[in-house]
A and B are shown apart, each in its own frame.
Chain A
Amino acid sequence: MDNVTLTIDGRKVTVPAGTSVLDAAEQVQVNIPRLCHHPDLPPVSACRLCVVEIKGDRLLRTACSWKASEGMEVTTNSKVVRESRKIAMELLLSRHPMRCTECVRNGSCELRAVADQLGIREISFEYRERKGSLDTSSLAVVRDPSKCILCRRCVQTCTMVQSVSALGMESRGYDVWVDTPFGKGLGDVACVACGQCIDRCPVGALYENSHIQRVWDALDNPNLHVVVQTAPAVRAAIGEEFGMPAGSLVTDKLVAGLRRLGFDKVFDTDFTADLTILEEGYELLGRIKNGGTLPLLTSCSPGWINFIEHFYPQLLPHVSSCKSPQQMFGALAKTYYAEKSGVNPENIYVVSIMPCTAKKYESDRAEMSSSGFRDVDAVLTTREAATMMKQIGINLPDLPNEDYDAPLGISTGAAVIFGNTGGVMEAALRTVYEVVTKKPLDNVEIKAVRGMEGVREAEVDLDGLKVRAAVANGLANARQLMEKIVAGEANYHFIEIMACPGGCIGGGGQPVPTSLEIRKKRAEAIYKADRGIKIRKSHENPAVQQLYKEFLGEPNSHKAHDLLHTHYKEKTPYTA
């Protein structure tokens, strides 16, 4: 690619053609303020905080959208620039309620940070409330339009990253606002509960439907036996909530922190991730052998399940009947574990720590209670789990390392990679290979299905049986694959879909901010975790083997079907 050389505040800088002035300025250590721009999204130039002067141009230009060009002379700090930014910011603040002390984003608010960067000390305009009232209709996502600064990131995310379009920009001019069609609640439209909009909101206008109080109530109740499970992706991200750099792997400290919160047992969703591989792997082999519906689509991402139910209900027969690992865990905690530990399942309370907001929705589905008890009672996002630890004075990085409890805390490297896009596929292939060929797989790292591209394909040779696989992350990419299936052009056996970019490590419940760079670091931490575990194939998990022996019989047995499998609902793209 061609390079261009420009001058920014008198300093020469050379960048690839097509680079924005905003990014070019970082090369000369100038951090131009921004509120609407997000590295995952194309610029919309809505906030006008990033304005700069360009020599020969009468108008101020927005650095986020203006491309650097050869010989361009940019000034980022003139009086007119500073004043213009200040007015833009004061106008935004004059419509913002400033309830920081009671705001979920108190510690991570971009509006506060930019106000501080600009040195705002007073606001010259009278406060005018924004239109719209608090929307708590969704089981996953709460929207507080009074705090919205109209940056449009959520609308872009929902529309372009997820191709769901639950949110849009309505009206215009002074009255413009973000809303669902006809102002219905997010819980009353086809929102898939992925929470990606939360991850990109700069302020506290979008956040998860909190289960913190529920969990405290359970922990405070002496009659309840409260067990917790942690999803793979949480250990690769929760450190960020405590100021650790992205990519910090803190599995053992996470366990210690949860124990200090008072959970009776600290277990791992990785245990049921291994179990999922067996159930889903046998389902795949069964479908290949018996001419069942192919390609088989994975079912562990509840945002994805919501998506296919709303937008491609005709393809539901492709979806694996396996419950997600979270739900399998709950079902087993209240049956197998109850039996083994002698605790009355009525008194077992299951909490999950998830990188995901759609897991809150999933846990509330009526069909997720086939044991006679609700599988999972409360779901905390990674962020909420960190909040609870902070509430009792825990600083995660200071904690000692502790181990998960047995047996539902025993897992393999194949399970932890569920946190990354391509991980379920890789874990399944590790097992399916050995089951089919009866030979040990020498190199367990199947790099062909790794990476951050939206859609990836691979063909894996299982001693003559060729398995054609595809992987998609982010729902707009999933939609591409669904269109291929509808058109009869999808020649695959097995497709893994994760609703969130990068998979669960980029989930809607993970620490804010997010970006491709941050997601790559978390993904690397997950692969490091895999390399650090001796057993790296799900079918070699001794606790899972014991579970089949003592309780389930064999994969896809009658009992396994009752407890670990589910069914789906046809929905429409227009209503919940």
Chain B
Amino acid sequence: MPDLNKIDKIIKSYENTRTPLIYILKDVQKEYGLLSDEILTRVAKKTAIPLSEIYGVATFYSLFTTTAKGKHIVRCCNNAPCHVKGSKEVLDHIKSYLGVETGETTADGSFTLEFTSCLGLCAVAPVMMVDNEVYGNLTPEKAVAILKDYKMKGTSNA
């Protein structure tokens, strides 16, 4: 469990700022890498701002993350050209294989599923990225097979 006392110091440093929440969250995220439940609860306690409001701000700005990311980041393109070539079906299969919705991380921490907009690879649509690798001409089966490979590699490395 991280040392939460630094949060109190950060909050104190914005004592005289009129709307300090965003600054506080920025510094806290820099310090801890993410804005987890226990971290934001501490911010709520110390600022007396309702947790739901803080969580709303933390999820509003994409520079904040509220959940730990998985080992691999899977980004599926959802722009029109990929959509026309069946990206929705691919995404549905990935979702059911991983058991998560977009924006979520698998329970074992191996994958985080995200959307991305056009990667400029529409010629080989539908497209997904896993970490920094691009995969095109996907079918639902192909996409799931690729993720299975990552998973296998993950376990053999461990």
A-facing mask of B42-59, CB < 8 A → 1, else 0? 001100001111111001
CA distance A574 to B43 in the complex (A): 12
Q: Which of A165, A172, A175 has the most CB of B within 10 A?
A: A165
- Whole-angstrom distance between the Cβ of A205 and the nearest chain B Cβ: 17
Q: Name A151-174 residues within 8 Å CB distance of B.
A: 159, 165-172
| B79 beta carbon closer than 8 Å to chain A | no
Is B50's CB under 8 angstroms from A165's CB? yes
Tell me the complex Cα distance, A131–B41, Å: 24
A159 CB contact (under 8 Å) in B40, B44, B50: B50
State whether B41 touches A574 (Cβ < 8 A): yes
**Across the interface, do B101 and A131 meet the contact criterion of CB distance under 8 Å?**
yes
State the CA gap A125–B10 with chains docked (Å). Answer: 47
Cβ-defined contact, A181 with B60, below 8 A: no
Docked pose: A182 CA to B41 CA in angstroms: 11
* A180 interface contact, C-beta 8 A: yes
- The interface residues of chain B lying within 8 Å CB-to-CB of A171 are 59-60
Q: Which B residues are in CB contact (< 8 Å) with A175?
A: 103
Q: Using Cβ atoms and an 8 Å threshold, which residues of chain B touch A573?
A: 44, 50-51
Q: A131-B101, A171-B60 are in contact. Are A165 and B51 (CB under 8 A)?
A: yes
Known contacts: A131-B101, A574-B41. The answer to whether A180 contacts B52 by CB under 8 A is yes
Interchain nearest-CB distance for A181 vs B (Å): 4
Say yes or no: is B27 at the interface (Cβ < 8 Å to chain A).
Answer: no
Chain A residues within an 8 Å CB radius of B52 = 159, 165-168, 180-181
**Closest Cβ–Cβ distance, residue B36 to chain A (whole Å):** 8
Bound: A182/B66 CA distance, A: 8
> B53 contacts which chain A residues (CB < 8 A)?
159, 165, 168
| Pair A181/B40 contact, Cβ less than 8 Å | yes
Q: By DSSP majority rule, is chain A's interface helix, strand, loop, or mixed?
A: loop
Residue on A nearest B54 in the bound complex, by CB = A181
**CA separation between A159 and B55, bound complex, in Å?**
14
Check B55 against A170 for contact (C-beta < 8 Å): yes
B37 within 8 A of A: yes
Q: Give a binary string over B5-42; 1 marks a CB under 8 Å from any A CB, 0 the rest.
A: 00000000000000000000000000000000100110
Report the nearest B residue to A177, measured CB to CB: B59
| Most central of B37, B40, B55, B59 by chain A CB within 10 Å | B59
Mask: chain B, 98-124; 1 = CB below 8 Å from A; 0 = not: 000101000000000000000000000
* Residue from A175, A180, A574 whose CB has the most chain B CB atoms within 10 Å: A574
Within the complex, which residue of B37, B50, B101 is in contact with A182, where a contact is CB–CB below 8 Å?
B37
Least Cβ–Cβ distance between A281 and chain B, in angstroms = 37
Q: Which residues of B contact A159 (CB under 8 A)?
A: 50, 52-53
Contacts of B51 in A (CB 8 A): 165, 181, 573-574
Roughly how many angstroms separate A573 CA and B53 CA in the complex, as a whole number? 13
Q: Mark A180-216, 1 if CB is under 8 A from B, else 0.
A: 1110000000000000000000000000000000000
Q: Which residues of chain B are within 8 angstroms of A167 by Cβ–Cβ distance?
A: 52
With the chains together, A166 CA to B44 CA distance in Å? 13
On chain A, the residues within 8 Å of B41 by CB distance are 574
CB closest residue in chain B, given A168:
B52
When chains A and B are docked, how far (Å) is the Cα of A391 from the Cα of B45?
48
**Is B56 a contact partner of A168 (Cβ separation < 8 A)?**
yes
Q: Are B101 and A181 in contact (CB under 8 A)?
A: no
Query: What is the CA–CA distance of A573 and B41 in the complex, to the nearest angstrom?
Result: 10
A295: min CB distance to chain B, Å = 24
Shortest distance between the CB of A479 and any CB in chain B (Å): 12
Least Cβ–Cβ distance between A355 and chain B, in angstroms: 26
Cβ distance B62 to chain A, nearest Cβ, rounded Å = 9
Q: Shortest distance in angstroms between A184's beta carbon and chain B's nearest beta carbon?
A: 8
Residue of B nearest to A171 (CB): B59
* Inter-chain contacts of A182 with B (CB < 8 A): 37, 55, 66
Whole-angstrom distance between the alpha carbons of A172 and B61 in the complex? 8
Encode contact with B along A558-574: 1 for CB under 8 Å, 0 otherwise. 00000000000000011
Tell me which residues across on chain A come within 8 A of B101, comparing CB atoms: 131
When C-beta atoms are compared, the residue in chain A nearest to B104 turns out to be A183
CA distance A169 to B56 in the complex (A): 6
Binding site for A on B (CB under 8 A): 37, 40-41, 44-45, 50-56, 59-60, 66, 101, 103
Shortest beta-carbon contacts, A-B, top 7: A168-B52, A165-B50, A181-B55, A168-B56, A170-B59, A171-B59, A181-B51
Chain A residues in the interface with B (C-beta under 8 A): 131, 159, 165-172, 175, 180-182, 573-574
Q: List 5 A-B contacts (CB under 8 A).
A: A131-B101, A175-B103, A181-B54, A573-B51, A574-B45
| 14 more A-B residue pairs beyond the given contacts A171-B59, A172-B60, A574-B41, with a C-beta to C-beta distance below 8 A | A131-B101, A165-B50, A167-B52, A168-B52, A168-B55, A170-B56, A170-B59, A172-B59, A175-B103, A181-B51, A181-B54, A573-B44, A573-B51, A574-B51
